[in-house]
Amino acid sequence: MMKKIVIITAVLGIVLVAVFMHFSQQKPHIISDSITKDKIVIGYSAPDFCGGQQVIMQGLVTRAKAKGWEVIDTNANYNAEVQENQIDYLIAQGVDVIVAVPVDSKAIASSIKKAEVAKIPFYSIDRAPIGVSIEMSVLADNHMAGVQAGQAMVELLTKRYGSPKGTVLEFHGDFNTNVAILRAAGFHSVIDKYPDVKIISRQTEWKTKGFGSHAQDVLSKEDIDGMYLPSDSVGLPVVLSVLEKQSKLYTADNPKHIFITSVDGNYPAIQAIRDGYVDQTSSQPLTDFGILVEWIEKRLNGKEIKEETITDAKALWSPAYVKKTDIGWQLLLPTTSVTKDNVDDKLLWANQPQEWKEEP
């Protein structure tokens, strides 16, 4: 019997160490190592810390710290199961609020219900849940982003052929996330009006490898006129690399140029527009998503959330609207269509000083 107890104790010890190591490794951007009861603590669940996700988190952290709050963050490495376990960890830590960027907009529902049981307000940023209500979401108007990319593609094809026609390779994001659905729907709400535009669709699940392999395959078999990337943060560098390797990378002044429109407005896309390799991107106001803390503060102070118009003279997205939806309150920030004409606008988030920037 004693032997069994010793074995069980040893196993539990190993498990606890593993859990501690797991969460330590998942928090490379820790803002607070411990919870102090005299401060509001936000538990932040990131899908990963790549590219734009760092900007999104930093925007929230900056605003939270300005209020004297603390943030504990976790990194799910784009694994929904890991994210659920990490949110369990945040709940166990007794955070005051949870803010998440869902890896899977449907799977996040179980974590939302657990937070509700623990009486911890749950918010999302950048993406929204599907099928379950939360306190509030702040994200870009992703349908608008897709519409802008579609309109730009139609204009480019029309300029080349006199009318909208040609072949376009459309990459899809992970349809388990609401933003992938909205960006595709926005793009198709425009492009489907033109039957002479042939669309070749490929699913990437927001993986760089997916963008690269599908680009390699389609470009080797088809003569295409354009490509639509629903995330230039994830897909653009590898797609440009494939184009270059296949000797199909031309600037916009070349008649062989393959049009590229996209969503995100990450630094590589902005630079590629300057260089002539990308034609348009729908820039999300990522640095302003942290405005969510203003509504978190209202909720914690017992103030009522209401439908209202939000304005900011220094923001490209202004005005924006707070609305009640079937999944809770939402603030959708309009995206900005970026071309060579406005690529140097200092208000674009990719033109603002950031430590995270990755060279294309």
Residue range 218-276, pLDDT digits in tens: 999 999 999 999 999 999 999 999 999 999 999 999 999 999 999 999 999 999 999 99
pLDDT (mean) for 309-317? 95
Angle, nearest 10°, between helix axes 178-191 and 142-161?
30
pLDDT at 234 (0 to 100): 94
CB of 167 closer than 8 Å to CB of 219? no
Confidence of residue 50 (pLDDT cuts 50, 70, 90): confident
CB of 151 closer than 8 Å to CB of 159? no
Confidence of residue 38 (pLDDT cuts 50, 70, 90): confident
**pTM of the predicted model, to two decimals?**
0.87
Residue range 294-305, pLDDT digits in tens: 999 999 999 999
Q: Which domains does the chain have, with CATH numbers?
A: 26-134+289-327 (3.40.50.2300), 142-283 (3.40.50.2300)
CB of 282 closer than 8 Å to CB of 348? no
What lies within 8 Å, CB to CB, of 307 at 6+ separation is 321, 322, 323, 324
pLDDT (mean) for 147-162? 98
pLDDT (mean) for 280-297? 97
Confidence of residue 306 (pLDDT cuts 50, 70, 90): very high
Of the two residues 52 and 47, the one the predictor is more confident about is 47
Peptide linkage before 319 cis (omega within 30 of 0): yes
